[in-house]
Structure 1
Amino acid sequence: MTKLYSAACERNRDPILAVLRNVLTDVSQVLEIGSGTGQHAVYFGAALPHLIWQTSDLSENHPSIRAWISESGLSNVLPPLLVDAAGDEWPVSGFDVVFTANTCHIMSWDEVQSMFSRIGRLLPEAGLLCIYGPFNYDGRFTSSSNAQFDAQLRSQAAHRGIRDIEKINDLALANGLIATADHAMPANNRLLIWRKAAVAV
C-alpha cells in the first residue's frame, strides 16, 4: 500500500493535539472528514486511546490512510469510510465528534454548505465539531502568507479559497451548531469548536 506523507500534518499535529486533549475528554466516537494521508488519524488515535477514531475520505485517498493505520497497529483507528462532502455516502449516527482539517478551503462553497448540513443532522445534542485551517476575519486575510496561499488555491481551481469566518459561523448556526471556541494556531491557522445545540421541545 502507498503511504503518503504531508509535512503540514507533521508540523500542525502537536498544536492541534494540545487543544483536542482538553476538548475531547468526555467523548468516545470521532468521525474525521478528509483524513488525507492518514497521519493525523494515527497520531491522534495513539495519543487519545479512549477514542474510536473513524477515518474517511474520497476513495483515491484510502490506500494511504489504510497504510498508516496498518503500520500503526492501532485498534482504535478504523479503516476509511467513503465520505464525499456533496455525496450520499455518510454515516447516519454513532459519532459524538466530527473533526476535519484543511478541507473548507479545498471544497467548493456548495460542498462546505452540504458538509455543515450533514454534520448538523449527524451530531447528537452537545456533539462537537472541530475544524482546523486558515480563515478570514471581517473579509480580510489575517496575514500576507494567507493572501498568497489563497491566490495559489484559486489558481489551482476557481472554487477554492480561504473562507470568511463570519459566513462559516452563520452556516454553523443555521445547522444548530453554536460556536464555543476559536483557538489561534501556528502559521496563521485556527482551530474552531462548535457544540450542537439542544433541540427545542
Structure 2
Amino acid sequence: MNDPRLQSPAAARNRQPILEVLRQVLPERARVLELASGSGEHAMHLAGAVPGWTWQPSDPNPRALASIAAWREAAGLANLREPRQLDVTDDWPAERFEAVVAINLLHISPWAVTEALMAGAGGSLVPSGVLYLYGPFRREGCPTAPSNAAFDADLRARDPRWGIRDLDDVTVEAERHGLMLDKVVEMPANNLSLVFRRS
C-alpha cells in the first residue's frame, strides 16, 4: 500500500531545537497555526511534546496535506487538528491564535509571502501573541556563514524571487503590522529562530 507520509531529513534534525525555543516563549496552553507545514513531521513532534498546544497545521500543497493527514492519523494526537489548505497570500482563518509558526518558509518564497505573512499574523494573533520564524537569515546584509551564501545563490538560481532574507528587512515588515522582535536565537546549521510579539 502506498504510504503518503513524506519525510524530511531537516525536520528530523531541527525539530527538537525548535521545540526547546517554543517551550520558552509559548504558554503551556496555546492555539498554534503552523504555516507551510510540509511533511507534517514538525506538527506531529511539537503537538506530541506539549499536549496543551492545540496545533493547526496548514499547507497549500495537496501532497503535503495528504502527508500531514497520514502522520496525524498515525500519531493519534487529540491536540493535532486536521490539516487545512491555506496559502499565506489568501484569506486566513477567522480564529485567533496565541502563536503563528513558519519553519523554513521565507527563503523559498517571493518577498510578497513575507509581506502577507506579517499582515496575516498581525491580524490573527491575540495581544502579546507570538510569531515564530525559523530558517537562514542575513544579518546586516551578510550571510551568517559561507554555506548560507552558497545556499542563497542556489535558491536565486532556482527562482530569482527566492533567497535568504535580511533580518532587518523582515523586522521592518513585521513592525508595520504591530509585531515587535522579541528574541533572536542562534540555531544549529547556521539558522536562526526569530520570535516576534504582537504589541
What's the counterpart of residue 46 of structure 1?
A: 48
Distance 1:71 1:27 in 2: 23
1:67-94 residue CA offsets vs partner (Å, 9 max, x unmatched): 1111111111111111112122x10223
| CA shift for structure 1 position 136 | 0.1
More strand by share: 2
**Residues paired across the two proteins, number:** 196
TM-score, length basis structure 2: 0.95
Match of 2:88 in 1: 85
Is the 8 Å Cα contact of residues 184 and 195 (structure 2) preserved in structure 1?
A: yes
Check whether the contact 1:27–1:97 (CA below 8 A) recurs between aligned residues. no
User: Corresponding residue for 1:74?
Assistant: 77
Q: Which amino acid aligns with 1:91?
A: P
Question: Which residues of structure 2 form unaligned runs of 5+?
Answer: none
Counterpart Cα distance in 2 of 1:97 and 1:71: 25
What is the CA distance between 1:104 and its match in structure 2?
A: 0.5
Q: Which amino acid aligns with 1:83?
A: L
Task: Please give the secondary structure, in 2, of the residue aligned with 1:124.
Answer: strand
CA positional deviation for 1:95: 1.1
- Aligned partners of 1:146 and 1:188 also within 8 Å: yes
* Equivalent-residue separation in structure 2 for 1:14 and 1:66 (angstroms): 21
Instruction: State the AA in 2 paired with 1:9.
Output: A
2:67 paired with 1:64 = yes
AA at the equivalent of 2:61: S
Deviation at 1:26, TM superposition (A): 4.6
Residues in 1 aligned to 2:71 and 2:109: alpha-carbon distance in whole angstroms: 24
User: What runs of 5+ residues in structure 1 fail to find an aligned partner?
Assistant: none
Percent identity over paired residues:
40
